[in-house]
Each structure stands twice: as structure tokens, then as C-alpha cells.
């Protein structure tokens, strides 16, 4: 059964979500830009607070931009499906007409039936539920003091930095006990995130940068993590590993 109404309704709802999200992203970008321009005129205390706010806003912006991409993908896929439904409906109507003149138009009828089978096969492939994702191997982050922090796929996102009691901001992976605040780690330095079955790390525009196996990351960029990746944040080194693939670092 061709459920045109369901796909049209989903596209309508998704476009509303997309419009609202695009508005939020624009406002967030404008806020970041205006506050970045105002930094030079601030005293040190207000500047630090504003920089922290900009870092958080950038992280939020990254998430929202990912949501924008996902919503646009949904609309694009549904548009293709609706186009194919239109092809199928038109071809079925053609077949109904041709069957009334079957004796005279048998050759044309068979050709259209073949096209219909192709369209229906493409429709089924487009709408077939995705296969369940492969089981994700358990992973962990190892700190310099050998503290091992398992990465939970259900949680999916881990902020890496150090706990600032004054600001009251506590990251998921706190590098303060291993000297993070004194060794160039930003309060909100990077994010380790699970995306499409792959753990990644995103630098949040940190002051002293993020390095993967001594290769510098571009500010605010995202890179996939591999087993036994050496991650340097400022001057603190942590390791990402697959628990089932390595026995020691």
C-alpha cells in the first residue's frame, strides 16, 4: 500500500521543526558573534565567564547543526519517496487504461508492467526498515592515573575538561585530579561522542588545542577515534581504547 498521506504529513511536520531549529541556530550564531566582538572590552572576570558561555554555545550549536542535517535528510528522503509514489500511481493508471485495449496494446502494456515492477522494487527498497546496527564493542578512556572510564553508548556524549568549583561546571571526564587546570586543559576542552556507531572527539575551540597521536586537530573539528588513540588535551594525555581488542596500552 502506498501511504502518500503519511509521508506528506511527516514532511510537513519535519519542515516546521526545521524552520524552528534554523531560527534557533541563527540566534545562537548571532549571540556567539556578538559576544566574541565584545570580549576585548570586558574585564578579566567577565571575559572568562563570557568565554565559557561562548564555548558552551558552540557545543550546543554543533549539536543543533547536526539535528538540522538530520531533518534535511528526512525531508530529502521523503521527497524522493513521494516522487516515486507519484510514478507508481501514474503508471497504475496507465495500466488500467491499457488493459481495456489489451489485444491492440499488448506490447505497450507489458513494457509498462516492467516499469511498474521496477518502481515498486525501488519503493520497497526506499521504505524497507534499516537493519539493526551491529553490536558496538565496549570502549573506555584511560587517564594518566590509570583511572578507566567506560564509555556508555546509551549516554553517547562525554564532556572532557576540569571541574571549576567557582563556576559550578562539572565535566563528564574531569581532568582536574591529574593536573588538568595547571597543564593547559580548558574547563570545557572537548567532547567525546558516539555518532552512527563510531566514537568521535570534537575540539571545542580549546585554548591549548587537542592532539590525536601528536597530530593537532583544527579548532571545533570532529575526528573519528580508533583503538589505542592517544589524545593530548593541553599537556594531559589520555587514551581511547576498545576493551575487547587491547589488553594493555
φ/ψ region of 222 (left if φ > 0, alpha if ψ in -120 to 50, else beta) reads beta
Pick the residue with more confidence: 84 or 244?
A: 84
How confident is the model at residue 226, as a pLDDT?
Answer: 94
Q: Are 185 and 234 in contact (CB under 8 A)?
A: yes
116 Cβ contact partners less than 8 Å away, ≥ 6 residues apart = 88, 91, 92, 95
How confident is the model at residue 194, as a pLDDT?
Answer: 95
Q: How confident is the model at residue 113 (pLDDT cuts 50, 70, 90)?
A: confident
How confident is the model at residue 249, as a pLDDT?
Answer: 47
How confident is the model at residue 27, as a pLDDT?
Answer: 93
Q: What b/e sequence results for 141-161 when a residue is b if at least 16 CB atoms lie within 10 Å of its CB, and e otherwise?
A: bbbeeeeebebeeeeeebbbb
Question: 13-55 pLDDT, tens per residue?
Answer: 999 999 999 999 999 999 999 988 888 888 888 889 988 998 9
CA distance 183 to 192: 20
Question: 139-176 pLDDT, tens per residue?
Answer: 999 999 999 999 999 999 999 999 877 767 789 999 99
Q: What value does the mean pLDDT take over residues 72-101? A: 89
How confident is the model at residue 229, as a pLDDT?
Answer: 96
CA distance 180 to 192: 17
User: Quick check: 114 pLDDT over 90?
Assistant: no
The model's pTM is 0.46
Amino acid at each position: 500500500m502506498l501511504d502518500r498521506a503519511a509521508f506528506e504529513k511527516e514532511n510537513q511536520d519535519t519542515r516546521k521543526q526545521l524552520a524552528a531549529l534554523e531560527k534557533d541556530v541563527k540566534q545562537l550564531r548571532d549571540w556567539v558573534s556578538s559576544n566574541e566582538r565584545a570580549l576585548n572590552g570586558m574585564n578579566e572576570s567577565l571575559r572568562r565567564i563570557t568565554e565559557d558561555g561562548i564555548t558552551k554555545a558552540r557545543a550546543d550549536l554543533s549539536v543543533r547543526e547536526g539535528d538540522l542535517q538530520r531533518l534535511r535528510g528526512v525531508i530529502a528522503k521523503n521527497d524522493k519517496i513521494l516522487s516515486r509514489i507519484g510514478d507508481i500511481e501514474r503508471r497504475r493508471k496507465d495500466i488500467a487504461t491499457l488493459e481495456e485495449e489489451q489485444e491492440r496494446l499488448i506490447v505497450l502494456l507489458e513494457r509498462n508492467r516492467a516499469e511498474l515492477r521496477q518502481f515498486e522494487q525501488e519503493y520497497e527498497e526506499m521504505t524497507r526498515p534499516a537493519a539493526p546496527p551491529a553490536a558496538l564493542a565496549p570502549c573506555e578512556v584511560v587517564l594518566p592515573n590509570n583511572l578507566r572510564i567506560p564509555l556508555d553508548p546509551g549516554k553517547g556524549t562525554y564532556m572532557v575538561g576540569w571541574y571549576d568549583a567557582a563556576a559550578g561546571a562539572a565535566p563528564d571526564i574531569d581532568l582536574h585530579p591529574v593536573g588538568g587546570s595547571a597543564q593547559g586543559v580548558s574547563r570545557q576542552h572537548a567532547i567525546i561522542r558516539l555518532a552512527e556507531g563510531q566514537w568521535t572527539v570534537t575540539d571545542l575551540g580549546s585554548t591549548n588545542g587537542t592532539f590525536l597521536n601528536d597530530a593537532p586537530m583544527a579548532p571545533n573539528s570532529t575526528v573519528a577515534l580508533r583503538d589505542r588513540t592517544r589524545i593530548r588535551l593541553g599537556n594531559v594525555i589520555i587514551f581511547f581504547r576498545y576493551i575487547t581488542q587491547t589488553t594493555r596500552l
